[in-house]
Amino acid sequence: AKILVCHGADDVLVPEADVTGLQDEMRAAGADLRFISYPGALHGFTNPDADVNGKKYGLPLAYDEETDRKSWDETQIFF
């Protein structure tokens, strides 16, 4: 299976152990994994409402327009 993961490198809601665990599992399963980690990006970086939701719920969420665009470009290439 081909799998694309676009991950915010500074996303504290997804522990590093989960990130490496996913990568290891996908390799072991023989998946064609493309994992892209975007430095400076937090959880919700593709959601324009992330800043509002982060403040509302006290969560480390943030929209990142540039990273959103980069991840969308990667998604279009992937498909």
pLDDT in tens, 42-59: 999 999 999 999 999 999
| Host domain of residue 53 | 2-78
In what helix (H) or strand (E) does residue 37 lie, and over which residues does it extend? Answer: strand 32-38
The number of beta carbons lying within 10 Å of the beta carbon of residue 67 is: 21
Tell me how far CA of residue 16 lies from CA of 9, 10, 45, 50, 74, in angstroms: 9, 10, 17, 21, 22
Q: Give pLDDT, residue 45.
A: 99
| Domains of the chain: total | 1
pLDDT tens by residue, 17-39: 999 999 999 999 999 999 999 99
